[in-house]
Amino acid sequence: MRRCGMVPVKVRQDLPGFLANRLQHALSREAFSLIDRGIASAEDVDAAVRFGFGFRFLAAGPVLQRDHAGIDVHAAAGATMYPTSAMTTIPRAA
């Protein structure tokens, strides 16, 4: 795969869809929810991804971004956006 210019990833459990596709669909679900709720237009959602955080993902994925910016910063932002979500807790180091 590397000789073809691809980067292999290890998936530890078999599940429907590919890892990258599942992440892409999670983003799409949120994007369409924001559009459906009238929070932003389709064009603005696309622009936010393309010219906002889209470039950042070339340098660092979502896990590494949180490590660099500080998990406490991201946890506080998550608690504001999703106050009842268990995902707003700060994960313990592995």
Per residue in 6-35, pLDDT tens?
989 999 999 888 898 999 999 999 999 999
The total number of structural domains in the chain stands at 2
Domain residues for the domain of 86 are: 61-94
The answer to whether residue 1 is domain-embedded is no
Residue 71 shares a structural domain with residue 41: no
Residue 51 shares a structural domain with residue 66: no
Residue 38 shares a structural domain with residue 69: no
The answer to whether residue 45 is domain-embedded is yes
- pTM (two decimals): 0.70
Q: Is the pLDDT of residue 44 over 90?
A: yes
Residue 53 shares a structural domain with residue 74: no
Residue 49 shares a structural domain with residue 68: no
For 80, the token pair is 């504001």
